[in-house]
Structure 1
Amino acid sequence: MPTLETRTTTPGGVIHDIGYQRYDGPRLGRRYVVGSLYLHGLRTAFGLGRSAKAKIFPWLIVGIVTVVAAVLTAVRAQFGEVVMTYAQFAGSMSWLLIFFVAVLAPELVSRDLHSGVLPLYFSRPLRRSDYALAKLAALASAVWLLLGGPQLLMFAGGAFTTKTGMRGVWDEFLDLVPGLLYAGMWAVVFATISLLVASLTGKRAFAAGGIVAVFLMTTPIVGVLSVMPSRIVNELAFLASPTTLVQSAGGWLFPEPGLAMTIGGTGPVYGVALIVLVAACVALLLARYRKVAAK
């Protein structure tokens, strides 16, 4: 009969030291995270650090506005005639902005919603409002750069071809400042509206379609109201569309030929309406991300 052997039990797990060390460097904190998120969003808007396919659309738009600015600068240098002012240039490029934000706003926020990475963002020292505002700042900066860059090209051409020396350069700069401020109005309004719409869905195609609809489908309403028999209705008709709202507010703030709309004495109403629209969109955007993060 075989003898019974006594077995000794040993622990089933062993801890191995594979060389991991604790991080002893500086904790960069919330401000650095927000700055990194903003910079990443701005790079994403222009396809930097991404595939060649992602660069095609934004740089096509950049190329179009740059070519237009270069042609205007060449005509001025050749014939000495200002075909389009800086502010008029920003307003004339507004139709391109619609498609620019319709593609880029979903790229900035809808992709994160679809992939479900927001809990990873909010597990860091990053507030929900920080995420929304960093994305908004990135998109607004991209739109402003899209309009402001060609304006600087036009300014360089005008400054080098002036015939009155430094006085002419200074006058040219004074013409440039309203144009840059007007471009900032376009950037803020278009960025807030488009990002709010894009934050409502994780499907980029739906978000892009919704953004285009908001800007284009409100334009016929302006046309209907502008032919009503009431004069006050005609003057306030441009409130019905974000595009005409910016044009009217810009025409009131920076009055110059070819820029002002037929708004009579209702300019302050358009200024207040623009501020209210931006504030409402930002508030709704922040509320949207408070809800998303709570899921």
Structure 2
Amino acid sequence: MSDAGVIHDIGYQRYEGPRLGRTAVFGAIYQHGLRASFGLGRSAKAKIFPWLVAGIVLLVAVINAAVKAQANIILFDYFSFDDTMSWLVIFFVAIVAPELVSRDMRSGVLPLYFSRPLRAFDYIGAKFVALATAVFLLLGVPQLIMFLGGAFTTDDGAKGVWNEFLDLLPGWGYSLLWAVLFASISLLIASVTGKRAFAAGGVVAFFLMTTPVVGVLSILPSTTAQHLAGLASPMSLLAGVQSWLRGQNSMDLDIGEFGVIYGIELFCLVLAAMLLLLARYRKVASL
């Protein structure tokens, strides 16, 4: 009997098509993350909560537009709309962020991701942009409905529509700030554990624990402490940045002359969250 080996041709062929590289991988993860944010491509159970939140936010926008059209009463402007919907945004990111990152950790697919031409920066960047897009859509689409309601009921014709549009643009900018800040914080917290229930609880707990601190600081006898109280919570931080950029203080938050401090903290908070995320996944990728 011969000991010579035998090679069997079973039809495998080398891949000779285009190699799309990191950009295509980034786009695929982003698209998958955005779809997962609203439960698309998943079971009906996964769609219930994100679409319930989206439905409530849309309903508020429709009611606001209807009241403005019928009684010329503005319940919310584009800025106060975001502030009013803050807790719905918190619950939204608390559910969606673990869906985007904790599921991958729990299912053990991260080594498979990083075995391809994909870097940790690409992975967290795609997840971050996907969640930020989802939050922006959650707030921006209702604002568009409010704009359409105002544009079609204005008495000033084209000038009125243009003025309404000029009000909408900074409102969208404010929504973008909400999306960037909440996406970065919630993803960082969710990346700590592979258990989605713990991750969701951690996101909600963070926002719950920081909110009362603002109230405590705002009643201190020091005027400086009162002006800086909003730095203690992401929601009041965003309200402070809005007051600074618009040049006017809100009724609930007086930032004094410290507007630039609010802007710096917002930038640093987002940057710190992204750097910590990058360090977290670089460690995972090296395993």
TM-score normalised by L of structure 1: 0.93
1:140 aligns with 2:155: no
**Alpha-carbon distance, 1:205 to partner:** 1.2
Structure 2 distance, partners of 1:222, 1:65, is 25
Structure 1 distance, partners of 2:250, 2:139, is 18
1:189 aligns with 2:181: yes
**Alpha-carbon distance, 1:16 to partner:** 3.7
* Aligned with 1:262 (options 254, 257, 262): 254
**Alpha-carbon distance, 1:259 to partner:** 6.9
**Alpha-carbon distance, 1:19 to partner:** 2.8
**AA at the equivalent of 1:244:** S
1:222 is matched with which residue?
A: 214
1:57 aligns with 2:53: no
Q: Is the Cα–Cα contact under 8 Å of residues 245 and 270 in structure 1 kept in the other structure?
A: yes
1:95 is matched with which residue?
A: 87
1:252 aligns with 2:275: no
1:179 is matched with which residue?
A: 171
What's the secondary structure of 1:161's corresponding residue?
coil
Structure 1 distance, partners of 2:41, 2:158, is 41
Q: Which runs of 5+ in 1 are unaligned?
A: 1-7
1:164 is matched with which residue?
A: 156
1:119 is matched with which residue?
A: 111
Alpha-carbon deviations, 1:219-266, whole Å to 9, x = none? Answer: 111111111111101110111111111111112213568577211111
**Alpha-carbon distance, 1:82 to partner:** 2.1
Structure 1 distance, partners of 2:112, 2:222, is 55
What's the secondary structure of 2:17's corresponding residue?
coil
Q: Is the Cα–Cα contact under 8 Å of residues 225 and 233 in structure 1 kept in the other structure?
A: yes
2:68 is matched with which residue?
A: 76
What's the secondary structure of 1:261's corresponding residue?
coil
Q: Is the Cα–Cα contact under 8 Å of residues 247 and 259 in structure 1 kept in the other structure?
A: no
Larger mean CA deviation between 160-169 and 257-266 belongs to: 257-266
Structure 1 distance, partners of 2:282, 2:80, is 39
Structure 2 distance, partners of 1:200, 1:192, is 13
Q: 1:221 to 1:257 in 2, by over 3 A?
A: closer
Structure 2 distance, partners of 1:223, 1:24, is 63
Work out the number of aligned pairs and report it.
Answer: 287
Alpha-carbon deviations, 1:52-108, whole Å to 9, x = none? Answer: 111101000110000000000111111122221111111110111111111110110
Q: Is the Cα–Cα contact under 8 Å of residues 243 and 249 in structure 2 kept in the other structure?
A: no
Alpha-carbon deviations, 1:170-207, whole Å to 9, x = none? Answer: 10000001110111111111110000011111111111
**AA at the equivalent of 1:235:** H
**AA at the equivalent of 1:201:** T
* Aligned with 1:281 (options 265, 273, 284): 273
Q: Which has the larger radius of gyration?
A: 1
Q: Report sequence identity in percent.
A: 63
1:19 aligns with 2:8: no
What's the secondary structure of 1:163's corresponding residue?
coil
Q: Which runs of 5+ in 2 are unaligned?
A: none
Structure 2 distance, partners of 1:46, 1:257, is 35
**AA at the equivalent of 1:73:** A
Structure 2 distance, partners of 1:257, 1:228, is 19
**AA at the equivalent of 2:109:** V
1:3 is matched with which residue?
A: none
